[in-house]
Amino acid sequence: MYGYAGKQLRVYLDKKEIKAEDIDFDVMRKYLGGAGLCAKILYEELEKGVDPLSPENKLMFATSPLTSNRIPGGGSVILCFKSPLTNAWGESRCGGDFGPDLRKAGFDFVIIEGKAEEPVFIVINNGDVEFKPAGHLLGKTTSEKLSMIRNELNDRKISVMCIGPGGENLVKYATVMFDQRAAGRCGVGAVMGSKNLIAVAVKGSKEIKAAQPEKLKDAISDAMAVLRESEMAAGFKEHGTTGDMAPNDAAGDWPTKNWQSNHWGKAEKMYDDFFDKYLIKNHGCYRGCPIACGRIAEVKEGKFKTPVHEGSEYESLSAFTAFVLNDNLEAAIHATYLCNEYGIDTISAGAVIAFAMECYENGFIKQKDVGGMDLSWGSPDVLPELVRLISSREGIGDVLAEGVKIAAKKLGKGAEKYAVHGKGLEAPAHDPRSGKTLAVAYGTANRGCCHIHPLEAMAYDSGKLDWGMVKFGVPDPNEVDRWDEKGKGKMVKILQDGLVLPDILSTCKFFNYSGITLDHHAEMLSAMTGWEIDGFELMKIGERVINLQRMFNMREGFDREDDMIHERMKKLPAFGIYKDESRCGISDYEAMLDEYYDARGWDKKTGKPLKEKLAELEIEQVRA
């Protein structure tokens, strides 16, 4: 039994009981862990049509043999569930020590079932599990909860993941936080809140044995050598993700004014200001991270005074600047900090505020509806207040807490045209008009429209990264025109199959951006488990998992229509330097989608995987 702790833990909240189960190594060989095993378990165990906020929904914390502080990028945990925001496959990754520490505590996976009668938090310590009352934690911010739990346990180093007021109030895009890192997307915090589960703490000292320790040491050394020579890794360390603001703005990859444009022209100055005035240092999310892309920032004074914190990242700052036409960086930093403290997703929060501003501009929301606030574009003062109202579901915040898709239906009067989302998930800060592979990736992603799930495709046909995927059939990106549409469907299929692997292996994708390839993963995985795995087998496992997640969505009523992208993503920008660039618009998305379905082996009318494809992937016998 190598590479795994060997057990999965079921927690029955309603009964306050647990059950430790042996993991099936034949199943592990096909799904490995992370989002792979979660896809199988949730597809088999969740009933069709289950309410995501009911006790019948299940929440999984998942790791893999590469979830280890020793492994480059190994500090992650994957949370999987049915999403209350989309009613589709829900998945969210969080960086930090929680995943590695969960395995040291004796478990590879935790499956949370039912609903506790009263608020509780769970402590997992070297195989022992304890339920503790959590009523005194209600209403506290995430940092307050973390401090209180660690004080109560008399352990300042124990790994804790918790929800904030957003999760308690069932905000549909509530997060689960590890320190100041978020499992941010799809509303996993609302699922925890619906179960009266406030936090999970883990600690352990179990040693996970490798089948071939010397081979593992060599494989890790090979990967680290790549990182040491990687300009991308050095860039992450120096600039973090915020370093992408200026180049993405210039490339037309910066959605602006609720997607009315893909360029604003203000990113370079804002980033320079951030770097000069507010950035303190970089920080790694898990012990031993060699990239340490996190940003520690502070606003020292003024009405947007914000304490030293981690979290001013590209997506978060973009959501509270370009999305809403706000060039007050202090307001953006403060708003993202509050999102983390209240436990709500920064991307969805910024997107729903941009939606509200456009509704306000067009008379769908009146000033009386928002307590007299001025929701005009670029109003910095309303950003923190709207974050607070959303997290507490007060006033207009109660509507906006539902996400743009449901909020638009509640407002009516045609507000849907301002609600930019995919499958109900608010779109992030990358624009497919600047690279057409991203359009197909957005439309077909199983959890909905998201920037790095399973890949940020703009980095391929615009950024010219190949992630070592050329050997698996992806054309050399240097020979691909970012404006072209033909061939992009085929490319996305291959890229998705390979770059879903970090979600399966519970590793950080920034290490793939920095030169770690599927072959590196295969070498480390083989040494850990004793299995002989290569990159081609990993590609097949990735394809299997994507198809099974797809089947999960199809069972919930999703079809081809749900793979469409918002009309604004297809049209020429209304302003900015690309407004007259005809190649920027998407002329025939349907053709790209047909090409993608053909490459996938899916029915072109419905989007459903064909029986032959399921048989090829050995998932035709998975219990539905």
Q: Where are the domains of the chain?
A: 7-203, 235-425, 437-447+457-616
Tens of pLDDT, residues 432-489: 999 999 999 999 999 999 888 877 888 999 899 999 999 999 999 999 999 999 999 9
What is the pLDDT at residue 394?
98
Query: Is 75 a residue whose pLDDT tops 70?
Result: yes
Rounded to an integer, the average pLDDT of 14-41 is 97
Rounded to an integer, the average pLDDT of 152-173 is 98
- The two beta strands, 109-113 and 7-12, are parallel
The Cα 114–Cα 160 span in angstroms is: 21
What is the pLDDT at residue 450?
87
Here the tokens at position 31 are: 């799904």
The Cα 552–Cα 40 span in angstroms is: 9
CATH architecture label of 7-203:
4-Layer Sandwich (3.60)
Fold topology of 235-425: 1.10.569
What is the pLDDT at residue 623?
62
Query: Is 158 a residue whose pLDDT tops 90?
Result: yes
Smallest CA-to-CA distance from 546 within 535, 554, 556 is with: 554
Within 157-212, residue ranges assigned H as helices are 165-168, 188-194
Tens of pLDDT, residues 277-305: 999 999 999 999 999 999 999 999 999 99
What is the pLDDT at residue 270?
94
Tens of pLDDT, residues 185-240: 999 999 999 999 999 999 999 999 999 999 999 999 999 999 999 999 999 999 99
Give, in words, the CATH class of 437-447+457-616: mainly alpha
Rounded to an integer, the average pLDDT of 547-575 is 97
What is the pLDDT at residue 453?
84
* Contact criterion met (CB below 8 Å) for 127 and 108: no
pTM for this prediction: 0.97
Mean pLDDT (the chain) is 96
Smallest CA-to-CA distance from 266 within 321, 312, 333 is with: 321
Return the H-helix or E-strand segment holding 44. Answer: helix 34-45
Smallest CA-to-CA distance from 545 within 617, 615, 610, 599 is with: 617
What is the pLDDT at residue 458?
85
Within 530-582, residue ranges assigned H as helices are 535-555
Tens of pLDDT, residues 496-506: 999 999 999 99
Rounded to an integer, the average pLDDT of 324-339 is 97
Return the H-helix or E-strand segment holding 440. Answer: helix 437-444
The Cα 202–Cα 195 span in angstroms is: 19
Query: Is 30 a residue whose pLDDT tops 80?
Result: yes
Burial 120-157 (b: 16+ CB within 10 A, else e): bbbbbbeeebebbebeebeebbbbebbebbbeebeeee
407 pLDDT band (50/70/90 cuts)? Answer: very high
